[in-house]
């Protein structure tokens, strides 16, 4: 007896005839009949009897039919699970919570693609996190629901998650930096202190991915009075370049620096805002394990 034999018995029982079953299975009726006789001989019991209404199951046939359907359903589930596993093994989905760390992420993704070209490595930008926010899920929720395999974020965000299911690894350690225009009085400085920022108009990065990060920044700067948020990354850069505001970001977000904007460390907040890679401990994707091996 094999899977094909189970399919034949189920088909005959459901169609109520050998001819109907043979047609649905695209096999010759003699082959179908011969296969079922072999099964009946193997178990020493008849599975079908002919009646005026066609072919009916015997009591032994009923037992066989119920169990055969369960086995076939299990085979379908097995095939589906194995296909899903195959796809997971060949796909890695990453996300980052701010475009300001894109250059750091790009280096690791390039390394992954070079070492494991068979893995389809997909990177979601901060727009992915924004879409999650619009359906009322915090930044860590994509990991909890396994919408993606890992998220690049900052340590205050990673520690926001409840429970022990989240794991994270430091990619780039750091504290806070201020971002100023080239004309700002801080532009030529090697560092500033948090006390010097109390009279400045401070601008924090988008809050859509974690109120926890904004709260941690405010606490580290001793709750400055003149502080606001900008939820558009491009507007955030424009406000700084125009000289209207002093931006405050984790030092790891150094890619915000350009010909119009300078990033200067806050000397007394030199830790606590690490760029980290966070993932769900229950995620069994083999591609994630490969990626963790190449991360520092």
Q: CA–CA distance from 121 to each of 109, 115, 136, 296 (Å)?
A: 7, 12, 26, 18
**Fold match between 90-165+275-294 and 176-265?**
yes
Q: What are the angstrom distances between the C-alpha of 202 and each of 81, 153, 236?
A: 51, 22, 11
Write out pLDDT tens, residues 228-237.
887 677 788 8
**Position 135 confidence tier, pLDDT thresholds 50, 70, 90:** very low
**CATH fold for the domain made of 3-87:** Arc Repressor Mutant, subunit A (1.10.10)
Task: Look at domain 176-265 and name its CATH class.
Answer: alpha beta
List the domain boundaries for the chain. Answer: 3-87, 90-165+275-294, 176-265
Band (pLDDT 50/70/90 cuts) for residue 211 is low
- Is residue 131 over pLDDT 60? no
pLDDT above 60 (res 264): yes
Question: Which one has a higher pLDDT value, 174 or 211?
Answer: 174
Superfamily per CATH, domain 90-165+275-294: Periplasmic binding protein-like II (3.40.190.10)
Of 85, 168, 98, nearest to 129 (Cα)? 98
């Amino acid at each position: 007896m094999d899977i094909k034999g189970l399919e034949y018995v189920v088909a005959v029982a459901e169609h109520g005839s050998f001819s109907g079953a043979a047609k649905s299975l695209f096999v010759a009726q003699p082959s179908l009949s011969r296969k079922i006789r072999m099964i009946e001989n193997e178990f020493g019991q008849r599975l079908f009897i002919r009646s005026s209404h066609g072919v009916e199951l015997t009591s032994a046939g009923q037992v066989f039919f119920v169990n055969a359907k369960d086995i076939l359903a299990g085979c379908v589930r097995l095939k589906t699970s194995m296909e899903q596993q195959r796809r997971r093994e060949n796909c890695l989905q990453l996300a980052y919570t701010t475009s300001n760390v894109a250059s750091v992420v790009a280096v690791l993704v390039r390394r992954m693609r070079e070492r494991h070209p068979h893995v389809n490595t997909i990177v979601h930008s901060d727009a992915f996190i924004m879409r999650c926010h619009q359906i009322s899920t915090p930044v860590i929720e994509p990991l909890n629901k396994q919408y993606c395999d890992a998220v690049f974020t900052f340590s205050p965000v990673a520690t926001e998650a409840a429970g022990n299911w989240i794991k994270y690894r430091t990619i780039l350690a750091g504290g806070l930096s201020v971002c100023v225009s080239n004309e700002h009085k801080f532009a030529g400085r090697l560092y500033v202190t948090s006390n010097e920022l109390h009279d400045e108009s401070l601008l924090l990065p988008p809050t859509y991915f974690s109120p926890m990060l904004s709260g941690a920044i405010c606490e580290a700067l001793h709750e400055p009075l003149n502080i606001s948020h900008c939820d558009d990354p491009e507007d955030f850069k424009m406000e700084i370049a125009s000289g209207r505001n002093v931006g405050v970001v984790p030092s790891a977000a150094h890619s915000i620096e350009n010909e119009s904007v300078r990033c200067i460390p806050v000397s007394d907040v030199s830790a606590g805002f690490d760029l980290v890679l966070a993932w769900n401990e229950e995620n069994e994707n083999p591609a994630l394990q490969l990626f963790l091996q190449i991360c520092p």
